[in-house]
Amino acid sequence: MTEHERMFRHEHAYKLDEPERQRWLPTADVLERLAVRPGMTIADVGAGTGYFALPMARAVLPGGRIYADDTAAALVEARRILRPGGSIAILDWRTDVEQPPGPPLSHRVSATDTAASLRFAGWNVAAPETIGMYSHLVLATRPPS
């Protein structure tokens, strides 16, 4: 499979904002779990149509900032730019739940594999958890230098 086959086609962007999505992946639950609060600075990697970036932008006011970064560049920079103790949250599609919604199972990365990749890169990784009906969340913190 080529990388191009994994790309989300922009003409399907409307699917990312369908009201049904709030039922199976409530933004409020994610923001609560991440403890998003006023004054925070957050990078939403793979922001798409802003499904999370827009609610997070409202939640970090006053004084906060949201960056909706290029995925590949952001992941390369994440460990470098985070302060010791800073954290990264990776929210992705579960591999044990059939579609729809979401991409084909063969395009998804398991929470276990995501956690292993983060550990290999030197992150302190919390146990992955299920959030919503179709997603998993992996949280990791940057260790002290």
Indicate the pLDDT class of residue 15, thresholds 50, 70 and 90.
Answer: low
pLDDT digit string, tens, across residues 58-79: 999 999 988 878 655 666 677 7
Q: Does residue 12 have a pLDDT over 70? A: no
Residues 6+ apart with CB under 8 A from 67: 41, 42, 43, 44
Q: Does residue 112 have a pLDDT over 60? A: yes
CA count, 13 A, side-chain hemisphere, 114: 23
Indicate the pLDDT class of residue 1, thresholds 50, 70 and 90.
Answer: very low
Give the residue numbers spanning the domain of 80.
3-141
**What is the predicted pLDDT for the residue at 4?**
47
Q: What is the CATH number of the domain that holds 92?
A: 3.40.50.150
* Domain count of the fold of the chain: 1
Mean pLDDT on 113-135: 88
